[in-house]
Amino acid sequence: MKLLSNNRKAYHEYFIEETYEAGIVLIGTEVKSVKDGKLSVKESYVEIRSGEAFVEGMNVTPYGHASVFNVDPVRSRKLLLNKREIGTLYEKVTQAGYTIIPLKVYVNDRGLVKMQIGLARGKKLYDKREASKRKDAKREMERALRERQ
C-alpha cells in the first residue's frame, strides 16, 4: 500500500466512528496525477445523491505532460461502494451531527487508487482541548521514561 494523501486534520476535527474503503472513478490523466501524489483531500467531503456517493472538493492537480486532456481539478468524483454500504451511510448522515469525510487516498497492492472514508461526528471545542491535553500528557510520560533509561 502506497499512501498518496492523508487528511490528518480530520482526526482533530471529528470523532471517526466507522471507516470504509471505496474506489474512485478517475478520468484520463487524473490517474497519473494522483499516482504522482498531486492531490489534496483536506477540504473535501462525501455527498450521497440518488443512491450514489460522490467526493466533493478533492483537488487533483492537472497532469503536466498532457495539456489538452486535463479536466477540472475540483470536479466531483464518483466513489465505488456497495449499495448496502451507501444505504447505511445515507441512513447515518440523515441523523443529526454525522458527516462523511475522506481520510486517506492510497494505491493498493493491485495498483488501484482507493480512498478510505470515515463516518464522522464533529468535535466540540472542549473535546479538542481534552484530546490535546491527553496527547501532551502522553508525550511527557514518554519523555520521562526515555530520560530515566
pLDDT, tens only, 95-137: 877 999 999 999 999 989 999 999 999 888 888 898 889 999 9
What are the domain boundaries of the chain?
A: 2-123
Indicate the pLDDT class of residue 28, thresholds 50, 70 and 90: confident
Nearest partner of 17 among 115, 119, 132, 136, judged by Cα: 119
Query: Is the CB of residue 115 less than 8 Å from the CB of residue 5?
Result: no
Q: What pLDDT shows up at residue 93?
A: 92
One-letter amino acid of 95:
Q
The whole model's pTM is what? 0.81
What are the backbone angles phi and psi of residue 26, rounded to the nearest 5°? -115, 150
Q: What pLDDT shows up at residue 51?
A: 92
Q: What pLDDT shows up at residue 80?
A: 95
Q: How far apart are CA 44 and CA 58, in angstroms?
A: 5
Q: Over the stretch 40-86, which tens digit does the pLDDT of each residue have?
A: 999 899 999 999 999 999 999 888 887 777 788 899 999 999 999 99
Q: What is the CA radius of gyration of the chain?
A: 18
Q: How far apart are CA 75 and CA 116, in angstroms?
A: 19
Query: Is the CB of residue 28 less than 8 Å from the CB of residue 134?
Result: no
Pick the range with the lowest mean pLDDT from 4-8, 92-96, 138-142: 92-96
Q: Taking the domain 2-123, which CATH number applies?
A: 2.40.280.10
Q: What pLDDT shows up at residue 64?
A: 80
Q: What pLDDT shows up at residue 149?
A: 77
